[in-house]
Copies of this chain bind each other. A is one copy, B any other.
Amino acid sequence: MASVVLGIDIGGTNIEYGLITKEGENLYSSFLKTESIESIEELAQNLKEEISPILKKEKYKLHGIGIGAPKGNYLTGCIEFAANLPWKGVVEINPIFEEVFGVATILTNDANAAAYGEKMYGVAKEMKNFMVITLGTGIGTGFFMNGQLQHGSHGNAGEMGHITIDPLGRECGCGRLGCLERYASATGIALSAREKIEFYKGSSSLSKIAPSDITAKNITIAAKKGDPLALELFDDTSKILGKALANITTVLDLEAFVFAGGLAKAKRIITEPTKRYMDENLMEDFKSKVQIVCSSLLAENSAIFGAAALYWNEEKGNS
């Protein structure tokens, strides 16, 4: 009888889920459309109806539930004011899932779930001090220190996307100016492209796209083909990110930064210049000691591994 954890990744578009063994095997996975779900009660009920026949038929034992969600707070078990989800305000998660499924449920934010995933199944298995940085619509970060995921004193640790890098810079959804995620995310690099494209007419393949339609994906594809604007955009982005990571390293002394999310799909085109700029901005004591690597879980459905790892890892920590 296989023991499984229901790993759930709640995103703005899809809610992906899977039945994951402790060894990281995905025995069943599927998804729901986020907008179709009116409440957490409905989500838990729908998932139960979906999962129960499979558990019964395959004789799987459901051990627990791990959930990753934007603004998911580990300490309170609530999703708190998530801008891109249909459920507004503070939304209780854990007690509802625990009542419907009868097993323990752990919630954290999506970046923390990604960090758990890397620790259990990914590139960070052997690491005690590392940070996973998801370079997507925004920047999410989750980090382990001394072998433990750090939640901070109010469950909000790891909001590195909102460190200020330019007090007079781009407007951010958080209401402030010049946050790192407005530059060094998939959204940020696209914004930079729109600023620069007019100077590259004819010399960049990106100039064939309407500026407002340029995405990180377009830029990544162009960069892989050697497009000069695309490469310059990655260099600019890496410079900003590298300087920020030098400051983080100076405080945290990590072994590695693990890049995940859309922009990480550029692989070496982003990791190598970021590493170079980071090292240029580090004190001698720290130089060359910190790796920058890409997630080994970039493939489809990786987020549900992270959500499941959240539960498995926690259980391991408690044993």
Seen from chain A, the residues whose Cβ lies within 8 Å of a Cβ on chain B are 81, 127-129, 141, 145-146, 148, 150-160, 162-164, 167, 174-176, 243, 246-248, 250-255, 281, 283-286, 289
Contact = CB atoms under 8 A, between A and B. Distances in A.
Interface SS of A by simple majority: loop
Nearest to A155: B253
Contacts of A155: 253
Given A145-B145, A175-B284, A284-B175, A247 B153 contact: no
A250 B250 CA distance: 15
Contacts of A254: 152-153
Contacts of A151: 146, 253
Which 3 pairs across A and B sit closest by C-beta, in order of nearness? A152-B253, A157-B253, A129-B153
7 contacts: A145-B152, A146-B148, A153-B254, A157-B252, A158-B251, A162-B250, A164-B243
Contacts of A174: 283-284
Contact of A286 (B156, B167, B251): B156
Given A145-B145, A153-B254, 7 more contacts: A128-B153, A152-B252, A157-B252, A157-B253, A162-B283, A176-B283, A251-B252
